[in-house]
């Protein structure tokens, strides 16, 4: 069985450790744990590994966040991975910092990266792992907030939260979305 795990983020050093790049950061952590490296290919940085008989493909789209659907659609087709076997890791301002929530499907909720994936793949019926980044910003400052670096306290907590997110990715790929949700969602 093949799975496609997509971490959302923006390419470029200026975005590297920002809240909006938590999808990239989480996949980097998972790749480190699995001792694999990313290579730059068409529309994405890609890596892959085998885990409990599953072939897990990781991509970090190089199209920038708002055009992520182009990379997702390309790699779904290229690897012949059905939509039910894709998982998108994304930041979520509606969740408190560090809260993780796996969903089998759902709306984009104003997230332009998810909206573009929906547009390019034909709907909302794909799994997503939402990584809470909080909403500690004033009205009209959302873009500045999501593109700003984590606070030192948040940065110190990130490894533990990303480890849990990595466990959820592996769970999704082995025991399925529903069992993983019941095991990990609060």
Instruction: Please provide the DSSP assignment of 100-138 as one string.
Output: EEEESS---TT-HHHHHHHHHHTSS-SEEEEEE----S-
Token pair 């959820």 is found at 168
Residues annotated as catalytic (active site), given as ranges? 20
- Cα dihedral value 176, 28, 46, 21, nearest 10: 90
The contacts of residue 110 (CB under 8 Å, 6+ apart) are none
Phi and psi, residue 73, nearest 5°: -60, -45
Residue ranges in the chain modelled with pLDDT below 50: none
**Per-residue pLDDT tens over the stretch 110-157:** 788 889 999 999 888 899 999 999 988 888 888 889 999 999 999 999
Rounded to whole angstroms, how far apart are CA atoms 52 and 34? Answer: 12
Torsion of CA 122, 123, 126, 128, to 10 degrees: 120
* pLDDT for the residue numbered 45: 97
Q: What is the pLDDT of residue 185?
A: 85
Token pair, residue 35, equals 């001792």
Which pLDDT score is estimated for 10? 93
Predicted pLDDT of residue 112: 85
Q: What is the pLDDT of residue 75?
A: 97
Domains and CATH numbers, the chain: 2-184 (3.40.50.1470)
Taking a C-beta distance cutoff of 8 angstroms, is the pair 14, 4 a contact? no
What DSSP character marks residue 146? H
- pLDDT of 109 reads 79
């Amino acid at each position: 069985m093949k799975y496609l795990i997509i971490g959302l983020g923006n390419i470029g050093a200026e975005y590297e450790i920002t809240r909006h790049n938590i999808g990239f950061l989480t996949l980097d952590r998972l790749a480190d744990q699995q001792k694999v490296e990313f290579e730059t290919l068409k529309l994405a940085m890609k890596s892959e590994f085998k885990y409990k008989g599953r072939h897990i493909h990781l991509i970090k789209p190089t199209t920038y966040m708002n055009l992520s659907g182009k990379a997702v659609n390309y790699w779904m087709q290229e690897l012949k991975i059905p939509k039910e076997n894709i998982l998108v890791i994304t930041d979520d301002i509606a969740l408190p910092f560090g809260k993780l929530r796996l969903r089998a499907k759902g709306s984009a909720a104003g997230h332009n990266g998810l909206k573009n994936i929906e547009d390019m793949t034909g709907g909302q019926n794909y799994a997503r792992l939402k990584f809470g980044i909080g909403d500690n910003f004033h009205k009209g400052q959302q873009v500045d907030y999501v593109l700003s670096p984590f606070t030192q306290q948040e940065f110190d907590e990130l490894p533990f939260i990303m480890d849990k997110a990595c466990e959820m990715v592996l769970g999704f790929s082995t025991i399925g979305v529903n069992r993983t949700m019941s095991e990990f969602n609060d």
